[in-house]
Structure 1
Amino acid sequence: MYFAGVDLAWGDRNPTGVAVVDAGGSLRHVAAAGDDADILAQLAPFTAGPCVVAVDAPLVVTNPTGTRPGETQLNRDFRRFEAGAYPANTGLAWFADGGRGARLCRALDLDLDPRSSSPRKALEVFPHAAGVVLFGLERTLKYKHKPGRDFTQLQAELHRLVGFIESLHDASPPLMVRDDDGWLRLAESVRTATRKSELRRAEDPIDAVVCAYVALFFSTRPGDATIYGDPDTGCIVTPTPPSN
């Protein structure tokens, strides 16, 4: 069984990160992808049989305005960590037809209910929230390009994320990335980057590895994960945050 992660760009022009780990936690694939056909082609060797695909994008969007119930619930728990989710609704152009994530899951014929007994499921996940729990952070890592963040900060924070992911080698379940050539190239590209654009090319596949690990974590330790929302309005799955 394989556990895939997709850090999905909202449009076809921006890169999407794709990663896959096996049931033992070994990284089997990590790369950037382009359009839907490219994403599906990269996933194809791993999604013909039993699989869990964790997608960093809304998978069920039915509300015409505002936020989905799952987003409201997640934000209540994670806002203090600066890890709140952006609202998704069909009034936004990206989700007028349900969204790209839903389209990919239909193409892969995946069940969108995290509680389903189906051997082929999709999970909506949120790497920032997951990282807070998995890495014991007080605040999210600030490696995303935003106004006021300079190159030095972005590189340092992305390098921290690389280190945290590598430390999951000793976690339960383990994640083993340090022997994978694709991962080693990603880590080196972060270390040697000299421009923000180089960091942006690396962050999507790195986030996809976090997504894939959340799929493995949820499948292995469901009692230590929280499902926000419901199948009718959209579920978001993340490791359970510490109590207030």
Structure 2
Amino acid sequence: MHFAGVDLAWGARNPTGLAVVDGDGHLVHTSAARTDAAVLATLRPYVQGDCLVAFDAPLVVTNRTGQRPAETMLNRDFRRFEAGAHPTNTGRPEFAMGPRAARLARELRLDMDSLSAAPRRAIEVYPHAATVALFRLPRTLKYKAKPGRSVDQLKSELLRLMDQVEGLAHAAVPLRVTGNADWLELRRQVSAAGSKSDLRRVEDPVDAVVCAYVALFATHYPTAVTIYGDLDTGYIVTPSLPADLAPAPRTRR
């Protein structure tokens, strides 16, 4: 069985990160693609048999305005950790013709019901929430480029995320990435990055690895997973927030 992660760009102009993990938790592939055809061509060799594909992108969007119930529920738990989800609705141009992730899942003939027992499925996940829960972070790691964040800060935070991912080799549900040449190349690119655009090219595949691990984790440890929302209105699957985890104190801007 394979577990794939897709850090899907909402628009076709930006790159999509892709990662695949095998049934023993070994990372077997990471890459980036731009077009639907390229995404499908990369994933198809790994999803012919039993598989679970985790998309960091909505599979189901039915509300015309505002946010989905799944986002409202997840934000109640994770916003205080700065891991709230962005609002999704059909009024946004990215979803006017239906979610891109759903189109890809249908092309791959994947069941999109998070509660299904089908052998080949797709689910929606959210890496920011997942990293908070998995790594017991008091706030999200700040590796996304935003005004006021320097290249050195972004690089440091992305390397922290990669360190945490490598530490999953010793988790109850292990993920083994350090023996994979693609991962080692990503690490080299982060260390050598001299600009935000250099880091941007790496963060998508790294996020995809997190997505793939959530798929693996949810399969092997379903009692430690929370599903926010439902198939009718949209859902997000994430490792459950630890009850004793406290957010970092807010700082004055």
Alignment TM-score > 0.5, same fold: yes
* Structure-2 separation of matches of 1:16 and 1:182: 16
TM-score, with normalisation over the residues of structure 2?
A: 0.95
Counterpart residue number, 1:188: 188
Task: State the match for 1:25 in structure 2.
Answer: 25
Residue-pair matches, total: 244
- What is the CA-CA distance between 1:102 and the residue it aligns to? 1.1
Q: What does 1:127-142 align with in structure 2 at a 5 Å threshold?
A: 127-142=127-142
Residue 218 of structure 1, CA deviation: 0.3
Q: Name the amino acid aligned to 1:14.
A: N
1:218 pairs with 2:215:
no
Secondary structure, counterpart of 1:53 in structure 2: strand
Q: Is the 8 A contact 2:5 2:53 kept in 1?
A: yes
1:63 aligns with 2:63: yes
Identify the residue that residue 85 of structure 1 maps to in structure 2. Answer: 85
> Which runs of structure 2 are paired with 1:191-202 in the superposition (5 Å)?
191-202=191-202
Superposed counterparts of 1:40-189, under 5 Å? 40-189=40-189
The runs of 4+ residues in structure 1 deviating greater than 4 Å are none
- Any conservation in 1 of the 2:136–2:242 contact (CA below 8 Å)? no
Q: CA deviation at 1:235?
A: 1.1
Q: Deviations over 1:38-72 (max 9, x none)?
A: 00000011011110000000110011111111100
CA contact (8 A) 1:2 1:52 kept: yes
The percent of aligned pairs where both chains have the same amino acid is 61
Q: Which amino acid aligns with 1:203?
A: E
TM-superposed CA distance for 1:76, in Å, is 0.4
Q: Deviations over 1:14-43 (max 9, x none)?
A: 110000001100001101111000000000
Deviations 1:79-117 (Å, cap 9, x if unpaired)?
Answer: 110000001100110011112111111111111111101
Q: Which runs of 5+ in 1 are unaligned?
A: none
In the alignment, the residues of structure 2 paired with residue 97 and residue 47 of structure 1 have an alpha-carbon distance, to the nearest angstrom, of: 25
| 2:61–2:95 CA contact under 8 A, matched in 1 | yes
- Letter of the 1:210 counterpart: V
Distance, in Å, in 1 between the alignment partners of 2:223 and 2:105 is 25
> Which consecutive unaligned segments of at least 5 residues does structure 2 have?
245-253
**Which residue of structure 1 aligns with residue 230 of structure 2?**
230
